[in-house]
């Protein structure tokens, strides 16, 4: 199957392209990516050019999307503006890509009669004090980023209900691993620690996140693409729930630095306090595989 991977030159998208090629010897991939600051051609370096094609372009542009989709049998959409802090200062780009761009891809999937898998985030559920989110938890986004992602998700549901598009959603927790742009917590702290620079920690650093290795995420997304049911939402999380300050302390330990490098900075509006996902979703993935 030839899959259009929108946003495939970014962090998770490029891990997904690698996974897809390794897991399916006959698979080919066309990456459609605007190559924003977060997308890099180098993220696809070393891959077989016979099996991976890169088209530079915007998912919000119908004239780009239509020809890019030719010969593809499914869309996996990673393309998004993704950084919460940037969404607070310039939300317009988030709405344009994460909502309008998703709509353009859904229209194209509808025209072509193919599957659209939307890659979304647990941040659409907002913050939680006790317990965990499930796939049926209400959407309660805290930031323009998560609101834009929730808007994209709702559009996916609407295209499923209104036009019977073969559309479905994966909501993943916080990914970590190679090729992540160093504005996100883990790569930023690793680089700062290695350079001996301060490690910024929002507020008391007690915000809890569910951390997921990016290759596990890629594998889960591929399982849902292959076996998921149209109209469903699949939460994908891991067993590693840690407060940010704990993640930072581990990075300091591993890089041989001490805690004097920690710099507490004011937490900004729109940051979720805690997020947790019920691991029942992992069970769903295993049963899908069988
Ligand atoms: N990183 C995480 O922890 C995480 C967790 C859950 C869900 N997600 C979701 O997974 C997806 C990928 O996240 P990521 O961390 O790899 O993001 P990223 O910022 O590393 O990559 C985003 C990619 O999308 C491309 N892009 C942006 N706007 C585009 C447009 N208009 N047209 C075409 N391409 C465009 C960028 O060039 C880049 O290659 C996003 O939808 C994000 O919301 C991320």
All residue ranges of the chain with pLDDT < 50 are 278-290
Q: Does residue 235 line the site of ligand 1, with CB under 6 A? A: no
User: Which pLDDT does position 268 carry in this prediction?
Assistant: 72
Helix extents (H) in 25-90: 62-69, 84-89
Please work out whether the CB of residue 78 comes within 6 Å of at least one atom of ligand 1: yes
Would you state the pLDDT for residue 280?
39
Cα 81 to ligand 1 centroid, rounded to whole Å:
6
**Does any ligand 1 atom lie closer than 6 A to the CB of residue 149?**
yes
The Cα-based distances of 27 to 2, 7, 19, 157, 175 in angstroms read: 6, 18, 10, 28, 24
pLDDT confidence of residue 279: 43
Active site residue 122: yes
Ligand 1 atom, smallest distance to 83 CA: 19
Q: Does the annotation count 145 as an active-site position?
A: yes
Cα separation, 3 vs 71, whole angstroms: 9
Task: State residue 277's pLDDT score.
Answer: 60
- Which of 29, 32, 79, 170 best tests ligand 1's pocket when mutated (most atoms within 8 Å of CB)? 79
Cβ of 153 less than 6 Å from ligand 1: no
Of 11, 90, 242, the residue with max ligand 1 atoms within 8 A of its CB, to mutate for a pocket test, comes to 11
Beta carbon of 228 within 6 Å of any ligand 1 atom: no
pLDDT value, residue 254 = 97
Q: What is the pLDDT of residue 184?
A: 95
Is 123 tagged catalytic?
yes
Q: Distance between CA atoms of 288 and 168, rounded to whole angstroms?
A: 14
Q: Counting beta carbons within 10 angstroms of the beta carbon of residue 195, is it exposed (0 to 12), middle (13 to 18) or buried (19 or more)?
A: exposed
Q: What is the pTM of this model?
A: 0.95
Instruction: Please report the pLDDT score of residue 38 as a whole number.
Output: 98
pLDDT of residue 128: 84
pLDDT of 75: 99
Closest CA to 58 of 82, 39, 79, 34: 34
């Amino acid at each position: 199957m030839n899959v259009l991977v929108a946003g495939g030159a970014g962090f998770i998208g490029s891990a997904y392209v690698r996974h897809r090629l390794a897991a399916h010897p006959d698979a080919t991939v066309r990456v459609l990516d605007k190559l924003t600051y977060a997308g890099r051609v180098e993220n696809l370096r070393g891959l077989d050019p016979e099996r991976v094609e890169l088209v530079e372009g915007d998912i919000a542009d119908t004239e780009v999307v239509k020809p890019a989709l030719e010969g593809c049998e499914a869309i996996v959409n990673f393309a998004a503006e993704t950084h919460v802090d940037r969404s607070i200062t310039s939300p317009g780009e988030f709405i344009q890509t994460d909502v309008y761009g998703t709509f353009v891809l859904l229209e194209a999937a509808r025209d072509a009669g193919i599957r659209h898998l939307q890659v979304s985030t647990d941040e659409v559920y907002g913050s939680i004090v006790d317990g965990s989110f499930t796939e049926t938890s209400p959407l309660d986004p805290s930031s323009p980023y998560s609101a834009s992602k929730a808007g994209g998700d709702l559009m996916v549901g609407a295209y499923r209900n209104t036009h019977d598009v073969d559309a479905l959603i994966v909501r993943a927790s916080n990914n970590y691993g190679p090729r992540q742009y160093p504005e996100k917590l883990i790569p930023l702290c690793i680089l700062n620690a290695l350079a001996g620079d301060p490690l910024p920690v929002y507020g008391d650093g007690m915000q809890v996140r569910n951390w997921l290795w990016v290759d596990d995420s890629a594998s889960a997304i591929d399982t849902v693409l292959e076996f998921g049911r149209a109209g469903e939402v699949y939460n994908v999380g891991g067993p590693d729930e840690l407060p940010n300050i704990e993640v930072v302390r581990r990075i300091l330990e591993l890089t041989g630095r001490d805690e004097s490098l920690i710099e507490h900075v004011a937490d900004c509006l729109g940051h979720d306090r805690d997020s947790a996902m019920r691991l029942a979703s992992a069970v769903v993935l295993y049963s899908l595989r069988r």
